[in-house]
Amino acid sequence: MTIEVPELCLLLLIGPAGAGKSTFAAARFKPTEVVSSDACRALIADDQDDQSATPAAFQVLHLIASLRLRRRRLTVVDAVNARPADRQPLLDLAREHDCAAVAVVLDLPAELCIDRDRARRGRTVGRRVIAAQQAAIGRSLPGLPAEGFAAVHVLSSTEDIEAATVRRVPLPVNRRWEQGPFDVVGDVHGRLDALVTLLERLGYRVERGPSGAAHPEAAAHPAGRRAVFVGDLVDGRPDDAAVTRLVRGMVNAGTALAVLGDRDHELPGSLAEPEAAFLRGLPSHLVLARGRLVVAHAGIRAEMQGRDSPRITRFCLTAARPPAGALPRVAGPDARPRRLGHAGSAPAPGARAGLGRRPELATRPPRALDRCQARLPHG
């Protein structure tokens, strides 16, 4: 079994004493990625078996997990985590840091866990405690997704546990390995003819579909440039589906990238599949070119960049209540400043922001902007 986990997440191991949580973690994660309740007890009391140190140990565990998530580090919590009350503070931490919580449940037979516990050197937990832990986990299993876990993986035998591998998956917003040159294209709002005109003036070869010139299906630049669409592909217009089909074809062919706009979020139900699914699957923002370019629809704060959560998606769509700050600008083709973001939508240090809130399609030749070419209109 391959367990896919986001590259940034809080992973909770859930299992009674004797289930092999520490062994599982040690074989699949760096020692620094694993925060163990036993180790935290040892830090507090010089003895991992000193149960009187448990409350303080979990304060330390939660602090370490919080600091790691703040630094965008995958964190594994090695503890029993049997009851909802044990898991809730950790779920709150994941939500606070805009990352997913993932549960890996080691659901072994109680008798096997008891036998392993008896074979341990030093303090043992005992049959009664293990049975209670197992019962609490069994009661929790059906409701784990509703608690807030993005994914739940259950391993029910020693064979399953030994065979399990962990694969880290990049977040949809993380495309740091993608290099330019890029053409950043503002809101299309369902205007197919204007979009085709823009792409052709930028040098893209637009591929027409079998239905004729009015139905382009893809476009590619002979020099390998790629378009980055800044959201609002649709706007309730007759050509919404055709615009989405063209952009989807470009994204699937690797000649474009796209982020979600507020209109895309509101209107996918007006389209048929697969265009509706394409809009629903667009990321809230993109981090490109090793973090030097960040693209969002309305705005994004520096601490949000490279994270993925419903809260960040809502902010990227509307830039609601942005903090005070300077408006990033870039010189346009006529040397007048062009809006590149909203107030408070500052990129991370060293990054260039590309945002497109209510712009118009530009058709004049672009001006170089670092490794991309900005196709943003007057602000």
CATH label of the domain that carries residue 314 = 3.60.21.10
The whole-number pLDDT of residue 214 equals 59
The answer to whether the beta carbons of residues 355 and 316 sit under 8 Å apart is no
What is the CB neighbour count within 10 angstroms for residue 204? 23
Listed in sequence order, the residues at least 6 apart from 76 whose beta carbon sits closer than 8 Å to its beta carbon are: 11, 13, 25, 29, 33, 34, 35
Number of residues in the chain: 379
Are 154 and 224 members of one domain?
Answer: no
Q: Output the furthest CA–CA distance in the chain (Å, rounded).
A: 78
Residues 195 and 324 reside in one and the same domain = yes
**159 plus 286 within the same structural domain:** no
Are 195 and 156 members of one domain? no
Tell which of 137, 169, 201 closes a domain: 169
Same domain, residue pair 48 and 103: yes
Point out which residues pair with 102 in neighbouring strands: 11, 151
Same domain (yes/no): 151, 287: no
Candidates 252, 258, 283, 281; CA nearest to 268 is 281
Residue 237's domain comprises 174-375
Return the DSSP state at 49: T
Say if CB 80 and CB 107 are below 8 A apart: no
According to the model, what pLDDT value does residue 320 have? 66
**Residue 7 maps to which CATH number?**
3.40.50.300
pLDDT (tens, 9 = 90+) of the chain, 379 residues, equals 899 999 999 999 999 999 999 999 999 999 999 999 999 999 999 988 888 899 999 999 999 999 999 999 999 999 999 999 999 999 999 999 999 999 999 999 999 999 999 888 777 888 999 999 999 999 999 999 999 999 999 999 999 999 999 999 999 999 999 988 999 998 999 999 999 999 999 999 998 876 555 578 899 999 999 999 999 999 999 999 999 999 999 999 999 999 999 999 998 788 889 999 999 999 999 999 999 999 999 999 999 999 999 999 999 999 865 444 433 322 222 223 233 332 233 344 444 444 444 333 433 333 333 333 334 333 3
How many C-beta atoms surround the C-beta of residue 274 within 10 A?
13
Structure tokens at 344: 């408070």
- Whether 242 and 358 share a structural domain: yes
Q: Token pair 């896919």 is at which residue?
A: 4
Predicted confidence at residue 264, as pLDDT, reads 93
Single residue among 169, 191, 209 that ends a domain in this structure:
169
Last residue of a domain, one of 132, 151, 169: 169
Supply the pLDDT for residue 121: 79
State the total domains in the chain: 2
Helices (H), 97-239: 110-119, 127-140, 144-147, 158-163, 192-201
Same domain, 268 and 206: yes
Residue where the block lists tokens 């994270």: 307
Contact status, residue 324 vs residue 313, Cβ threshold 8 Å: no
Asked if 29 and 117 sit in the same domain, the reply is: yes
Same domain for 323 and 350, yes or no, is yes
Residue 90 φ/ψ region, left for φ over 0, alpha for ψ in the -120 to 50 degree band, beta for the rest: alpha
Residues 19, 144 within the same domain: yes
82 lies in the same domain as 137: yes
Q: Kindly state the tokens that stand for 336.
A: 């007048």
